[in-house]
Amino acid sequence: METPAEATRDLVARLDGARNAARRRRSAIGVAIGLALAAATYAIRTHQTQPPPAIRYDTAQATRGPLTVKVTATGTLQPVTQVDVGTEVSGTVEKVFVDFNDRVEAGQILARLDATQLAAKERQSRAALELAEARVTDARATVTETARKLERADKLIERRLSSMEDHDTLRAARDRAAAGVTVALAQVNQARAQLDYDQRLLEKAVIHAPISGIVLKRQVEPGQTVVAALQTPVLFTLAENLTQMELHVQVDEADVGQVASGQPAEFIVDAYPNIRFPAVITLVRFVPQTVDNVVTYETLLTVDNSALLLRPGMTVTAEITVKHSADVLRVPNAALRFVPPTREPASNDSNSSLVGRLMWRPPPVAKRDVADTTQGARVWVLRDGQPLALAVKTGATDRTQTEITDGELTAGSVVLIDSHGPPES
């Protein structure tokens, strides 16, 4: 059995062993921390001395050549002269003489209405005219009769065989007879006007072509009743000449300042997508048209349709040539939009974290310098591997390339149009 002195010695020995083990563990941790700090210091110094990752640039050349500025607009084809043929009289259509696409000459009969009632009314008006003319003859006979009676009364008065009262009565009768002639003549004119009106209505029962051309629409059938009341019914639509057509396009308000009469244009239609038809502007109308808050101006172009490929109502997409230069210095539009990316400088703040200083940060997305926009356009070139800005003055653009009218840029110069970050490791 262990004595108290032996138990005390064993306890002291175990406590000494535990203290020695704790000291060894603390020493190992300290060594590990020191090694980690040394490695971190070396990594920071190595990272700061390495050059930044390279940036790759896409380039293009400034060239000389033609530059054509075009304005795009959409619209429809229409005949130069289009006439809606109607009727001023009501009645039943007796016969139709033409159909769709028929060629007609001016004056040709297109249709005829049943004219039975109109003919009867014309005969009635003719009889009324004959009656009015007969009344004129009667009134003139009365004038002659009263004049002779007045002459005899004058002779009787000279012989004192008649009274002045009888003389006055005969004179009044003569004046009334003369007035009756005037009334009868006015009735003749009235009857003649009515007869002329009824004759015109009878003539309009036969519908003639007002122009020579092609029948685009026929909107009437035999037996159909047409009523000419508040609005004239349209029976036919004629186009005068389809070999010459008119193109109506809507030009946006942003482009209308460049468009003028005489400018050439080309257009395509869905029916012939591989054919570009020529046209010439004849008129740019001043009146605006607003649809969904979009303001456009109607522009008219003449089109030669000798081959009769084009038809009224076709939807077209036109390109109007507003400017053409045969030989100019030009660059891609991307070169004028390009701004080289910038890199944030390394932070020297003593409060920044160790992890943050160890992590590599890629260059931020390039942003256009607001102050530079007030200095005009510029392009970027490489000088000794670094981007260099050149101030230029721009001219016309075709939405792909832009004319350079002044500046240090010359033909053949290589300009920057895009940049890419460092390649992934």
pLDDT, tens digit (0-9, with 9 covering 90-100), for 24-37: 777 767 767 777 77
Give the integer Cα–Cα distance in Å for 176 and 214: 62
Mean pLDDT of 84-92: 92
User: Which residue in 304, 309, 306 sits closest to 264, CA to CA?
Assistant: 304
* CB-based contact 150:174 (threshold 8 Å): yes
pLDDT grade, residue 161 (50/70/90)? low
CATH 2.40.420.20 fits 56-65+330-420, yes or no: yes
pLDDT of 352 reads 47
Q: What is the pLDDT of residue 194?
A: 93
| pLDDT (average), residues 217-225 | 93
Nearest residue to 336 (alpha-carbon basis) of 420, 254, 399, 412: 399
CATH of domain 71-80+241-324: 2.40.30.170
User: Residue 352 — φ and ψ, nearest 5°?
Assistant: -70, 150
Q: CB 129: neighbour CB atoms within 10 A? A: 20
Residue 44's pLDDT band (boundaries 50, 70, 90)? low
3-state secondary structure 278-294: EEEEEEEEEEEEEECCE
Q: Residue 257: exposed, middle, or buried by beta-carbon count in 10 A (0-12, 13-18, 19+)?
A: exposed
pLDDT at 350: 45
Structure tokens given for 65: 């050549």
Identify the pLDDT of residue 346.
47
pTM of the entire predicted model: 0.64
- Range of lowest pLDDT (57-66, 223-232, 385-394, 397-406): 223-232
Does this chain's domain 71-80+241-324 share its CATH topology with 85-226? no
Mean pLDDT (the chain) is 83
Q: What percent of the chain has pLDDT over 90?
A: 55
Query: What are the structural domain ranges in the chain?
Result: 1-50, 56-65+330-420, 71-80+241-324, 85-226
Calculate ∠ Cα 304-284-289, nearest 5°: 115
Residues in the chain: 425
CATH architecture of structural domain 85-226: Orthogonal Bundle (1.10)
Quick check: 316 pLDDT over 90? yes
pLDDT in tens, 358-389: 444 444 433 333 334 335 789 999 888 888 99
Identify the pLDDT of residue 43: 60
Residue with tokens 């390279």: 54
Number of neighbouring beta carbons within 10 Å of residue 351:
5
The number of beta carbons lying within 10 Å of the beta carbon of residue 167 is: 15
What is the pLDDT averaged over residues 232-252? 93
Tokens matching residue 367: 């942003």
Rounded average pLDDT over 101-127: 93
At 84, list the tokens: 């809606």
